[in-house]
Structure 1
């Protein structure tokens, strides 16, 4: 269900939210991930990550502050989230009087995404805890300089996914513009779509990116509204993890065969070694 949110924004000074990551998280790894989405991000003498537009991620330097970061941000709020609207990030629950908007929303989204990728959580300025599910986003894309013909891709997938079916291939799309469907239990599917690259921000420095090909692996759940769930039940959580592992195995096979890099749906680079 969707609804329109009216942008009656009121900007008030500044506020802060806390990003809580595992204590052994390397600050350099956080900076690397931030630069996947914000290549211009820099650090100051205190180790704070400057994101621009008044946004900063400040590490906690106290003896017990390992893994803790403070998102220092302008405070910008709009109307409360309409009742019944999907709330995958939990913002409607956390901000009943008005959800973050504009710059604050961008910073909060980044903190939420870092929490998802690094198994952490976000605590809002009002003390509400948001715990992103690590497999909430399961889609992956292999960005490669090489395009496989449809028959070659089907042959490559055969041993790993014997039920994979090559969809109808347009006559004018010998190497891009086609897809493969991989059936899953309970009416779900993985769709592997081959097309011109969307050129992720994390890979902008690559000389071959302009002509790159995306092998986009998309999970199609039986219930399209499922991705709006903030906290899935155990059965859904296990299924998400299983699908992610399966998508990861396909992504790993592709990178071994055609080279390139793996990015997730939000644009973060993913190490193929972590997908095994």
Structure 2
């Protein structure tokens, strides 16, 4: 059935062996109220639905049905990291459609898939496009203890100057990379992460945010990097994973990616 004029459809294409239950679990990390009916159709809220393809060859394929909401055409000035500018030259999605499309794109990123928009444009996230991770732990390391912990992995790491009136759980460490880029590890009071809403110690938890700082700040707007940029992203991606893994082994807790999805520590680089 074709969508009505005020609705539209995009396609989410994941590996054929993707378990729909895993898709729902990931969605609930960021949309806890999402529900699947007896046919596997996931209600995302905001009148948006993710509908599985139940045909014999439909494994891993979903249709995102959503209200059609488009902005006026604009000329790109700050980059197009997800490719929406080229997919929607007559006006990018906004409102509920934009949020649902962002979710589908993020699922494609995490589950090695792609989104095909209603215009027929394929959006395939680069495997290292999102490099930042956050370790959420009930245990706060003092600055000196963190510096000692990370020294074998990053001997050139520098503890940033800490004002005397700043909490011992509020500090940052700069980690130079051989590529010329840097990582910043920012330690402070935890945000209220929706994926961890049921964790009883979250109110008193600490966030260890591990952030990639490329030399060229404009890289944040790149959808398809060249080979050299891709290699630098991969170095940062792997180093961020190593630091996150070291932290979880030491202070416990959970790992979240930049999209708010939980990450299995066993999958860290």
2:13 maps to which of 11, 16, 20: 20
What is residue 191 of structure 1 aligned with on the other side? Answer: 184
CA distance in 2, matches of 1:59, 1:26: 11
CA distance in 2, matches of 1:256, 1:85: 39
Farther off after superposition, 153-162 or 78-87: 78-87
1:22-37 matches, within 5 Å, as 22-37=15-30
CA distance in 2, matches of 1:226, 1:94: 20
CA distance in 1, matches of 2:52, 2:233: 32
The alignment partner of 1:39 has SS state of coil
1:98 maps to which of 68, 85, 91: 91
CA distance in 1, matches of 2:38, 2:208: 40
Please tell me whether residue 212 in structure 1 is matched to residue 205 in structure 2.
yes
Q: Is the 8 A contact 1:251 1:262 kept in 2?
A: yes
Runs of 4 or more consecutive aligned structure 1 residues displaced over 2 Å after TM superposition: 172-175
Output the aligned Cα RMSD.
Answer: 1.3
CA distance in 1, matches of 2:205, 2:77: 40
CA distance in 2, matches of 1:83, 1:248: 32
Please tell me whether residue 234 in structure 1 is matched to residue 264 in structure 2.
no
Q: Tell me the TM-score normalized by structure 2.
A: 0.96
Unpaired runs of at least 5, structure 2:
none
CA distance in 1, matches of 2:84, 2:46: 21
Please tell me whether residue 45 in structure 1 is matched to residue 34 in structure 2.
no
Unpaired runs of at least 5, structure 1:
1-10
Q: Is the 8 A contact 2:184 2:210 kept in 1?
A: yes
1:57-96 matches, within 5 Å, as 57-96=50-89
1:222 maps to which of 210, 215, 218: 215
CA distance in 2, matches of 1:226, 1:241: 14
1:149 maps to which of 142, 159, 162: 142
What is residue 167 of structure 1 aligned with on the other side? Answer: 160
The alignment partner of 1:182 has SS state of strand
What is the aligned length? Answer: 266
CA distance in 1, matches of 2:197, 2:184: 26
CA distance in 2, matches of 1:107, 1:31: 14
Q: Is the 8 A contact 2:179 2:232 kept in 1?
A: no
Question: By how many angstroms is 1:12 displaced?
Answer: 5.0
CA distance in 2, matches of 1:175, 1:259: 19
Question: By how many angstroms is 1:174 displaced?
Answer: 4.6
